[in-house]
Structure 1
Amino acid sequence: MEQMNSIVYVVDDDEGVRAALENLLESAGFEVQVFSSTSNFRAHERAETPSCLILDVRLKGESGLAFQEWALENRITIPIIFMTGYGDVEMSVQAMKGGAVNFLAKPFREQDMLEAVTEALTIDEARLKTRRLSEALRKMFSTLTPRERDIARLVAAGHINRVTAEKLGLTEMTVKIYRGRVMKKLSARSKAELVKKVRALCPDEESQ
């Protein structure tokens, strides 16, 4: 499966392992960047593209699990595939609880690694898509006037036009006009889509 718009990062202090993984992944069509330590990886500026990290558990200096803890604390959301030649049940449980998408014991089958990478990239692609959609929606929401935002929130809360009009001291016709403007600005093709978009930005609106 070719992933030319994605990047696979590899962190392992064994040069032979790095070279083998780089060759395997590149032969499968993945773009690969390798690092000998987590500190080198941290210093690298990552591109805003689907990516994943293949990380050895036991590294000289900071361990892979310690890096995972740091990533969680700093909200670094890259999917991690752990690999180790010395893994045990406790270690793998800790890694998976920390959000690792896979844990492969060395020596692993090449196909297992390729499948793990494909899964991780799919997860990250979905995450980036969701974030970009959210950012675009926030930009559209910022174009609403204060009155339009009031209308949007009340509609999202499930109020019919008559109730919305009463709450805001407007006529039903005026509410309909405002709602039409809101739907246009938020690119909502129906009331249901409008409600979904507003609740995605303002999840507490449903209970109002």
Structure 2
Amino acid sequence: MSNNYSQSPELPIVHIIDDDDAVLDSLSLLFDSVEINAIGYHSGAAFLEAYQTPDFNLHTGCIVLDIRMPIMSGMDCQKKLNELGCPLPIIFITGHGDVSLAVEAMKNGAFDFIEKPLREQTLITAVQAAITRSIRDDERHQRVKDTTNKMNSLTEREKQILNRVIDGKANKTIASELHLSERTIEIHRAHVMEKMQAGSLAQLVRMVLDAANT
């Protein structure tokens, strides 16, 4: 079960996962003092349960995760989140004897780890950096989604021409390959540019390559 320490749906959220109530309370107060939204969970299982519900709020933000917890460790929680494709950056809270585990967590995709005793400013700086990356990744995801939707709106002929344009082929070459006139290629190409809302060939290429490399 989670504790909703603050709720502003339009803002990024820090998800704190720790089995120690005192830690949850203190971190909540810390983030509240710098106007960062935070929600607390007493275990990795509690967060995973919340994460997999249909109404989970997938806002930009990050996860602050204790590496050592009973039943489900922070590492086990990270592994499950990776399997679920969770996009939120993870910052691990570690003890002095957990550095090797923290390094392993970083290899598995963790954003950062902070050693106990926690230094408030160090944690705040790490969280702000994680949120910045989360926002950037979310914006890119939205751009790719928008590009994919536009590409799906193209006719099969327009898709054929788009693929050849991206390959750098001239209208004359495309016309020859598709057994069409150059004028017909020009018309279809204009429709592609309009539907893709691309102001230039360079912009069109960037959009499509960005979507393809996701």
TM-score, normalized by the shorter chain, greater than 0.5: yes
Which residue is 1:9 aligned to?
15
Match of 1:35 among 41, 53, 57: 41
Helix, strand or coil for the counterpart of 1:5? coil
Which residue is 2:169 aligned to?
159
167-176 vs 22-31, greater mean Cα deviation: 167-176
Q: Identity over the aligned pairs, expressed in percent?
A: 34
Judged with a 3 Å threshold, the aligned counterparts in structure 2 of structure 1 residues 109 and 62 are, in CA distance, closer, same or farther, namely: same
How big is each residue's C-alpha offset from its partner over 1:59-105, in whole Å with a ceiling of 9 and x where there is no partner? 01100011111111221221100002244331121011011111111
Q: Are the aligned partners of 2:13 and 2:60 in contact in 1 as well (CA < 8 Å)? A: yes
181-190 vs 100-109, greater mean Cα deviation: 100-109
Which residue is 1:139 aligned to?
149
| Structure 2 letter corresponding to 1:9 | H
In the alignment, structure 2 segments of 5+ residues that lack a partner are 1-7
In the alignment, structure 1 segments of 5+ residues that lack a partner are 204-208
Judged with a 3 Å threshold, the aligned counterparts in structure 2 of structure 1 residues 202 and 6 are, in CA distance, closer, same or farther, namely: closer
2:79 matched to 1:69? yes
Looking at structure 2, the residues matched to 86 and 60 of structure 1 have their Cα atoms a distance apart, in angstroms, of 18
**TM, length-normalised to structure 1:** 0.91
Q: Are the aligned partners of 1:81 and 1:104 in contact in 2 as well (CA < 8 Å)? A: yes
Q: Are the aligned partners of 1:10 and 1:18 in contact in 2 as well (CA < 8 Å)? A: yes
Q: Are the aligned partners of 1:83 and 1:104 in contact in 2 as well (CA < 8 Å)? A: yes
Q: Are the aligned partners of 1:153 and 1:198 in contact in 2 as well (CA < 8 Å)? A: no
Q: Are the aligned partners of 2:91 and 2:112 in contact in 1 as well (CA < 8 Å)? A: yes
Q: What do you get for the CA RMSD once the two structures are aligned?
A: 1.5
What does 1:25-174 correspond to in 2, within 5 Å? 25-45=31-51, 46-174=56-184
Quote how far apart the aligned CAs of 1:201 are. 3.9
**What is the number of equivalent residue pairs in this alignment?**
201
Helix, strand or coil for the counterpart of 2:12? strand
Which residue is 2:4 aligned to?
none
